[in-house]
Amino acid sequence: MPEIPEQPLRILHAVRAPVGGIFRHILDVANGQADRGHHVGLIADSLTGGERGTAALAEIAPRLKLGVHRIPIHREPHPTDAVVWGRMARLIRRLKPDVLHGHGAKAGAFVRLKSASKRIVRVYTPHGGSLHYPPNTMMGAFYSRLERALMNRTDLFLFESAFARDTYQRIIGTPKGLVRCVFNGVTAAEFDPIAKAQDATDVVYVGEFRHIKGADLLVDAIARLRSDRRPVTLTLAGDGEETEAIKAQIQRLGLGEIVRFIGHVKARYGFSKGSLLVVPSRGDSMPYVVIEAAAAGIPMVAANVGGIPEIFGPYTDALFAPSMASAMADAIKIALDDPAGALMRAKALRERIFLHFSQKAMVEGVLAGYRDAFANR
């Protein structure tokens, strides 16, 4: 049986889409594991990720002794899923991993289709994914049944928040396998301060334009503030499937002169483009953008959803009720009216992140989970 850290582990991560926070998490964990001498590989979808995903995978590939492997994996159930599993099974036989670590619902399902083995530990990190579908919907019911069928084919669950763990156990059930919570973490360089740009707007959003991320709610909140004669300006940094819908919303509300788009940028550059970061999510587990901003000491208000309160800890006065543009507008107004108070809270939150949300702690927590899973066999 492999030992940690005396003997290097052969670790194969699998993810569907190489984009967003889930991809950032995998890259950080894989890099940390490679730094500690483990032999790491990565399977990722070839249909998504675009140039950014391809570039990121090319950058990390020389460090991964088990290589980078791209397979076309559709988001929803698809007739080619059997072919995908066949290709993954062949990779597993050839690479002979000690740890199969699936991230997200689709890759997590493929990983856990592998039959039980005394040599291989099957690990699953949900990252929200299928848990965001209400159980009373058709897709929610389907994913709940699938998760329940695979639950006891999992040697180790690694949740990135207590919220994700509790949601899983409420909707799916209590697994027989080990359950651990390991917070997402950021690197030492991300604690460096960020200078505010000269052309910074009052408010900035950094993230994907997807319904669950709530950028449309932020636009509505800005419109409310403007109707109350608050001359608030907004920068939107990101892209995604709802880009055109949000642009149309801005024009419909007459906000074209005070809202600017700067496209997908690195998070720290995006943070510099506003005095206050707003995180308007309708749902989230442990969003990196919140941890990154907090590490850099960026004044911020955020929706009180998912694992975000776990990041803020005792500083929950910066959180507002989710899916309510009016509550968001009130939080923005309070923060902009008291910039000294918002900055003081940001400094205190930065210290909390330094103690509890480092990349080193995340990597060690994941490896400790593997160790416990092997011992549990």
Report the alpha-carbon distance of residue 306 to residue 284 in Å, rounded. 5
CA end-to-end distance (rounded Å), the chain: 9
**Strands 201-206 vs 234-237: parallel, antiparallel or unpaired:** parallel
Predicted pLDDT at 3: 44
Concatenating the DSSP letter of every residue in 58-75 gives HHHGGG-TTEEEEE---S
What is the spatial distance between Cα 178 and Cα 20, in angstroms, rounded to a whole number? Answer: 27
Q: How far apart are CA 46 and CA 18, in angstroms?
A: 9
Short-list 195, 204, 212, CA closest to 238: 204
CA-to-CA distance for 323 and 116, rounded, in angstroms? 42
Q: What is the mean pLDDT of each run of 10 residues along the chain (377 residues)?
A: 65 94 94 97 96 96 98 93 96 97 94 90 84 70 87 95 92 93 94 97 97 97 96 96 97 97 96 98 92 98 96 95 98 98 97 94 96 92
What pLDDT does residue 6 have?
59
The pLDDT assigned to 296 comes to 97
Query: Would you list the DSSP string of 267-283?
Result: HHHHHTTEEEEEE--SS
- Omega prior to 5 cis, within 30 of 0: yes
Domains of the chain as residue ranges with CATH: 10-185+358-376 (3.40.50.2000), 189-356 (3.40.50.2000)
Q: How confident is the model at residue 140, as a pLDDT? A: 73
Q: Which of 263, 265, 219 is nearest to 245 (CA)?
A: 219
pTM reported for the whole predicted model: 0.86
